[in-house]
Structure 1
Amino acid sequence: MAAAKGVFLHHIARETSDLKRLAKFYQEVIGFEVIESPKFSEFEVVWLRVPPAFSLHLIERNPESRLPEGPLSSTEPIADPKNLPRGHHICFAVSNFDSFVQTLKEKGVEVFQKTQPDGKTKQVFFFDPDGNGLEVGSWEAPKI
């Protein structure tokens, strides 16, 4: 039996050197809304939410960090969405898959799209402006 009870995903954090650019991307492409963010003296943050409860916390990159800024800082050939590392992405589901993909293309976002063998499940893979992998699928919302 697991030690934790009542578990749910609360938020995911992404570090960035350009908070405004990344926040704008997630607002315009996924539909996140800005929510109240705490004030830290040593760094800036922007908190975003997709109702009812999922949050994305964008955190100003530590300029002293020796780690790569993001996946696109890597020497690996991952800039093409076909090469998105399968273990390094955030996935969302939308009810308007085809129009969502069209909007990505209109915004100049390079995408890799595929349909699963069942013929029903569609997926699109792409990167945010910092090179973080994103997947969006045509799955139905869970019945709660």
Structure 2
Amino acid sequence: MLGIEKIHHIAIICSDYERSKRFYTEILGFEIVAETYRQERQSYKLDLSLAGQYVIELFSFPAPPPRVSRPEAAGLRHLAFQVADIEAATAFLQEKNVITEAIRTDEFTRKRFTFFSDPDGLPLELYEK
């Protein structure tokens, strides 16, 4: 048996490091664990945590190629974040000029959710617990 215990982290490559750093820290509320500039790769690596748990590695590289993310392209579909109050979370994002879709209800779980995008168009979801 492989023995996977949990997801360790999610790696995201951004096109504008400072813009994405502000988005993930100032808007989404992730905390910086470490920030490293790798001169040989001309790349930043930003380690981010949520509630003390290491979650995201944010990378920058010179001129990364665009990745198709919508509609329904093969590969990672979206990254979902659980929230207690989806209306309050959506209102907060909209106050920060982040466009969100209308809140919908999952037909199977009956839970409410909505989608928005990071600065590079990566689909992100808020899912109400």
Same-fold call, TM cutoff 0.5: yes
Larger strand fraction of residues: 2
Match of 2:59 in 1: 59
Cα deviation, residue 84, structure 1: 6.7
Q: What's the Cα RMSD here?
A: 2.4
Q: Percent identity?
A: 26
Match of 1:47 in 2: 47
The separation in 1 between residues aligned to 2:121 and 2:38, in whole angstroms, is: 25
Closer/same/farther in 2, CA of residues 56 and 124 from structure 1, 3 Å limit: same
Match of 2:78 in 1: 89
Match of 2:95 in 1: 106
Match of 2:126 among 121, 130, 136: 136
The separation in 2 between residues aligned to 1:13 and 1:119, in whole angstroms, is: 28
SS of equivalent residue, structure 2 residue 52: coil
The letter for the 2-side match of 1:103 is F
Match of 1:33 in 2: 31
In the alignment, does 2:11 pair up with 1:8?
no
Normalising by structure 2, what TM-score? 0.80
The separation in 1 between residues aligned to 2:26 and 2:110, in whole angstroms, is: 26
The superposition leaves residues 12-37 of structure 1 with CA deviations (integer Å, 9 ceiling, x where unpaired) of: 11111211110111113321011123
Cα deviation, residue 97, structure 1: 1.7
The separation in 2 between residues aligned to 1:20 and 1:71, in whole angstroms, is: 22
Compare CA radii of gyration and give the structure with the larger one. Answer: 1
The separation in 2 between residues aligned to 1:84 and 1:103, in whole angstroms, is: 27
Normalising by structure 1, what TM-score? 0.73
Would you say the 8 A contact 2:78–2:123 is kept in 1? yes
Structure 2: give runs of 5+ residues left out of the alignment. Answer: none
Would you say the 8 A contact 2:35–2:44 is kept in 1? no
Number of residue pairs aligned between Structure 1 and Structure 2? 125
